[in-house]
A and B are shown apart, each in its own frame.
Chain A
């Protein structure tokens, strides 16, 4: 036993111990069989001939015991005892019966260590059930590539223009209903700009809105009578609808819808036949206009 004292003399304070980790306040022992992690005379596995530890592997705890008789055989020095019971108290009893007649210090420390180990095993099992955070590594190259792509896409998108276009489209299609004053005025003005001869356009503009009183710039032609004016109004609606739909077949339905919904003079149902006749006439006239309108939109 005095050789153990010699060992401790050497590795304890005076010379080098490869398992010792020195910090400002304390020395730690990194030996895997150490029962407390602290470098002490009583808890150094090298300097004690009778020693016991608890170690765990993959969730199971084992009791390792070192005895003097086997000090000469390093390969067989540590005896491994498996703790069969998952039950905490039974395991403690097993430790007790294995370490019977051993010094109190070792028994106590073994039980303490076992307690700690079971506690952290329980915590590990609980954590697995809870939410686990997965760290996803970012690759710098990929990130910078994506950033540049995004910038280019942003430039290509021309967001403001797209949004404005979409809003104007919706205005034209009438999703806003009667909120705004100028839905049909738009078309009239546009067509007017194209065709210099369209007097009827000007007349329709005037008759359209009661609220557009101040905007009347064009004087009505003298030859046109009031009944004709209302017809022209309907035809204007037809024309605009045909512009929107770009199909002449649906203009009939449009005509009915708008007739019902419009704030027109109410003469239209009665003048159904008249309108149809006039409509035939009008279509011939305005064929070019629809074409040009569509062309305008595509360019």
Chain B
């Protein structure tokens, strides 16, 4: 045993120091793979060796390519663009062309046309499910500061179907219901009131104003601007208009506030910033206001009616989540 131990140590040292020395001497059978070695330490070492080899080859390849590129100079082929999920996105046939007449006509006559023609001013009612606790209450209040002309009312066990006619009678244009799960908001129902579509979202990663780093002061009463990014399909367009109609038509640039709804891979990120133009090429933004992400779960034609409503779009996980590169919004 004693004799074997120093032998092993020697061998190890040989391995670690004379890595290259081993290479030209040994030949492995062609079907050999590193994972077949039973000894853990040796296996580990062989694997590290393999990795080093691969890395070296990659670096050599890179250098070669770079030299070629420099040698060619202007005539070099353009740099290859790396594949991203956005690049590889499965083409959605409902993508909206900016010049599509049919869609322009549709949007001229749909439920938001009244808003976009300047006839109605948004008036938003924010409420929760029964017995709001903890963060939900604060979240509601902060939402109310962000959205101008928003009122928070407590639910106290009222049925939504009875609230809706009352809201319509009092000229509300929007109803927001925030659902909660263990004292944090986890669902949002956005209902456009006079017969408008109802959208049900899943809310995640809510950060209240206190929890933001490098936060600015509280949002003022000015109406913010709205930025809607990446709403490209027909469904996305509808949702985008849904969000746009939450805010008054004419933003007050004096306030320098902007609310952003950014759609990325079917997640809608909401941010609220105050911006300032330092000069013509640089703008600084400072986050006020809460931030949260939404994921659309269903879109329903009329006002909120979960049993008998006509659903325009429902998230069907098995169909829609099957392909990583396919998105709905």
Q: Which residues of A contact B (CB under 8 A)?
A: 130-131, 142, 146-147, 149-150, 152-154, 156-157, 159-160, 162-164, 166-168, 170-171, 176-177, 179-180, 182-183, 185-186, 189-190
Question: Given contacts A156-B264, A157-B262, could you give 6 more A-B pairs where the C-beta distance is less than 8 Å?
Answer: A147-B204, A150-B205, A152-B265, A167-B275, A179-B253, A182-B279
Tell me the dominant secondary structure on chain A's binding face: helix
A160–chain B nearest beta-carbon distance, Å: 7
Asked if A167 meets B267 with Cβ closer than 8 Å, knowing A142-B317, A150-B293, A186-B281, the reply is no
User: Measured between alpha carbons, how far is A157 from B285 in the docked complex, in Å?
Assistant: 16
User: Measured between alpha carbons, how far is A148 from B118 in the docked complex, in Å?
Assistant: 41
Q: Are B265 and A159 in contact, with the CB atoms below 8 A?
A: no
Q: Are A149 and B280 in contact, with the CB atoms below 8 A?
A: no
In the A-B complex, list the 8 residue pairs whose CB atoms are closest, starting with the nearest.
Answer: A186-B280, A157-B264, A153-B265, A182-B280, A153-B264, A153-B267, A167-B283, A131-B159
Produce 1/0 per residue, B305-316, CB < 8 A to A: 000000000000
- For residue B275, which residue of chain A has the nearest CB? A167
Pick the residue among B159, B265, B267, B285 that contacts A163 (CB under 8 A).
B285
Which residues of chain B come closer than 8 Å to A186, judged between CB atoms? 279-281
Produce 1/0 per residue, B215-241, CB < 8 A to A: 000000000010101000000000000
Asked if A154 meets B264 with Cβ closer than 8 Å, knowing A163-B258, A179-B253, the reply is yes
Asked if A157 meets B269 with Cβ closer than 8 Å, knowing A163-B285, A179-B253, the reply is yes
Interface membership of B43, Cβ < 8 A: no
Which residues of chain B come closer than 8 Å to A180, judged between CB atoms? 277
User: Measured between alpha carbons, how far is A163 from B270 in the docked complex, in Å?
Assistant: 11
Interface membership of B198, Cβ < 8 A: no
- For residue B263, which residue of chain A has the nearest CB? A157
Pick the residue among B229, B283, B295 that contacts A146 (CB under 8 A).
B295
B162–chain A nearest beta-carbon distance, Å: 10
User: Measured between alpha carbons, how far is A171 from B283 in the docked complex, in Å?
Assistant: 10
Q: Are A156 and B229 in contact, with the CB atoms below 8 A?
A: no
Q: Can you list 23 A-B pairs with a CB-CB distance of less than 8 A?
A: A131-B160, A146-B204, A146-B295, A150-B205, A152-B265, A154-B269, A154-B293, A156-B86, A156-B264, A157-B264, A157-B269, A160-B285, A163-B227, A163-B262, A163-B273, A164-B283, A164-B285, A166-B260, A167-B258, A167-B277, A167-B283, A171-B277, A189-B280
Q: Are A149 and B267 in contact, with the CB atoms below 8 A?
A: yes
Q: Are B281 and A159 in contact, with the CB atoms below 8 A?
A: no
Which residues of chain B come closer than 8 Å to A162, judged between CB atoms? 229, 260, 262
User: Measured between alpha carbons, how far is A168 from B275 in the docked complex, in Å?
Assistant: 11
Which residues of chain A come closer than 8 Å to B281, judged between CB atoms? 168, 186, 190
Interface membership of B117, Cβ < 8 A: no
Q: Are A185 and B265 in contact, with the CB atoms below 8 A?
A: no
Which residues of chain B come closer than 8 Å to A142, judged between CB atoms? 317
Q: Are B264 and A183 in contact, with the CB atoms below 8 A?
A: no
Interface membership of B271, Cβ < 8 A: yes
Which residues of chain B come closer than 8 Å to A183, judged between CB atoms? 280
B61–chain A nearest beta-carbon distance, Å: 26
User: Measured between alpha carbons, how far is A183 from B277 in the docked complex, in Å?
Assistant: 11
User: Measured between alpha carbons, how far is A270 from B281 in the docked complex, in Å?
Assistant: 35
Interface membership of B3, Cβ < 8 A: no
User: Measured between alpha carbons, how far is A163 from B275 in the docked complex, in Å?
Assistant: 10
Indicate the member of A159, A164, A166 with the most B CB atoms within 10 Å.
Answer: A159
Which residues B248-279 have CB closer than 8 A to chain A? Answer: 253-254, 258, 260, 262, 264-267, 269, 271, 273, 275, 277, 279
Q: Are A159 and B85 in contact, with the CB atoms below 8 A?
A: no
B173–chain A nearest beta-carbon distance, Å: 24
Interface membership of B39, Cβ < 8 A: no
Q: Are A171 and B262 in contact, with the CB atoms below 8 A?
A: no
Interface membership of B84, Cβ < 8 A: yes
Which residues of chain B come closer than 8 Å to A179, judged between CB atoms? 253-254
Q: Are A159 and B84 in contact, with the CB atoms below 8 A?
A: no
User: Measured between alpha carbons, how far is A159 from B204 in the docked complex, in Å?
Assistant: 17
A19–chain B nearest beta-carbon distance, Å: 39
Which residues B138-160 have CB closer than 8 A to chain A? Answer: 159-160
- For residue A136, which residue of chain B has the nearest CB? B187
Which residues of chain B come closer than 8 Å to A131, judged between CB atoms? 159-160
Which residues of chain B come closer than 8 Å to A182, judged between CB atoms? 277, 279-280
A137–chain B nearest beta-carbon distance, Å: 12
- For residue A189, which residue of chain B has the nearest CB? B280
Asked if A159 meets B269 with Cβ closer than 8 Å, knowing A154-B264, A167-B258, A167-B275, the reply is yes
A51–chain B nearest beta-carbon distance, Å: 43
B207–chain A nearest beta-carbon distance, Å: 12
